C-alpha cells in the first residue's frame, strides 16, 4: 500500500492533482478542500490510499491520516465504495461526519449526493460506535481549524468543479454558486479566505431544496 507521497505539486485539476516524486508523476484524486490547499510548484505531503481493481489502480489523496482513515472506514458500510466515500469527505470534514453520525443527523448525511434516507440510516447504524468522537469542532458544530485558502475568484471554480464531480449539471452548479457568492464575497471583504468546504455544503443545501 502507498501510505503517503511527498513531492512537488505538478498540476492541480478539477478532481485530482499531479504530484512529482522521484521523477514520477502520480495522479491523485482529492477532495475540493484538499485541492484548494495545493499550489503548483510547492512541496507537499499527502496521505494516500491505493484502490486496486481488476482494470484500474486509483490513488486517492488526503490532507492527513485522519481523513484517509475515515475514507477507509466508511467503505466498510454496505453500498459505500471509494467514490461515495470521497464524496462524503468532499461535503463533510472527518469531524463533521463524526458529529452527524453521533447525533443521528440524517439531513446532514443526505447532503452527500448518492446518499438517501435509508443510506444515511445505515451509516449511522454501522458507524456510530466506530468513527470516534469529533474533536475539531466548535460548540456550534463548525470546523474549528483554519479555512481552506481560496482567492476571491478561485473559490468559484473550486465549488463549481466539486459540484460537477458530485454529479450535478453545469447549470445546477452555476445557479448554486450564484446563491453562495454573497457569503464568499463577504469573507473576502472581511479580509479572510472563503471557506470552500462551507461554501460547497451551502451550495448542496440549495440544490437539495430546489
Domain residue ranges in the chain: 4-62, 67-127, 154-209
Topology annotation, domain 4-62 = OB fold (Dihydrolipoamide Acetyltransferase, E2P) (2.40.50)
pLDDT of residue 146: 42
**3 is written with which cell numbers?**
501510505
pLDDT of residue 141: 45
Q: What is the end-to-end Cα distance of the chain in Å, rounded?
A: 42
Degrees, nearest 5: CA angle 193-194-196: 125
Residues with pLDDT less than 70, the chain: 134-153, 210
**202 is written with which cell numbers?**
451551502
**28 is written with which cell numbers?**
491523485
Furthest CA-CA distance within the chain: 50
Task: Identify the CATH number of the domain defined by range 67-127.
Answer: 1.10.150.20
Q: How far apart are CA 152 and CA 96, in angstroms?
A: 25
**119 is written with which cell numbers?**
443510506
Which of 71, 125, 124, 114 has its CA nearest to residue 208? 114
**64 is written with which cell numbers?**
492527513
φ, ψ of residue 84 to 5 degrees: the values are: -70, -35
Which of 164, 202, 195, 158 has its CA nearest to residue 180? 202
pLDDT of residue 135: 66
Q: Are 120 and 154 in contact (CB under 8 A)?
A: no
Amino acid at each position: 500500500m502507498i501510505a503517503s507521497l511527498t513531492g512537488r505539486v505538478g498540476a492541480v485539476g478539477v478532481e485530482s492533482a499531479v504530484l512529482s516524486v522521484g521523477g514520477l508523476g502520480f495522479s491523485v484524486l482529492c477532495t475540493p478542500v484538499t485541492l484548494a490547499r495545493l499550489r503548483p510548484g510547492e512541496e507537499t505531503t499527502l496521505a494516500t490510499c491505493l484502490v486496486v481493481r481488476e482494470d484500474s489502480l486509483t490513488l486517492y489523496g488526503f490532507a492527513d491520516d485522519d481523513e484517509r482513515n475515515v475514507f477507509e472506514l466508511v467503505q466498510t458500510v454496505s453500498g459505500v465504495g471509494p467514490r461515495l466515500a470521497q464524496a462524503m469527505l468532499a461535503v463533510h470534514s472527518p469531524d463533521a461526519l463524526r458529529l452527524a453520525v453521533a447525533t443521528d443527523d440524517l439531513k446532514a448525511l443526505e447532503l452527500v449526493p448518492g446518499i438517501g434516507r435509508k443510506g444515511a440510516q445505515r451509516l449511522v447504524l454501522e458507524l456510530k460506535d466506530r468513527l470516534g468522537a469529533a474533536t475539531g469542532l466548535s460548540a456550534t458544530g463548525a470546523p474549528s481549524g483554519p479555512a481552506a485558502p481560496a482567492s476571491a475568484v478561485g473559490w468559484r471554480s473550486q465549488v463549481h468543479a466539486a459540484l460537477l464531480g458530485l454529479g450535478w449539471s453545469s447549470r445546477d452548479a452555476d445557479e448554486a454558486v450564484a446563491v453562495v457568492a454573497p457569503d464568499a464575497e463577504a469573507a473576502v471583504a472581511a479580509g479572510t479566505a472563503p471557506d470552500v468546504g462551507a461554501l460547497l455544503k451551502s451550495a448542496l443545501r440549495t440544490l437539495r431544496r430546489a
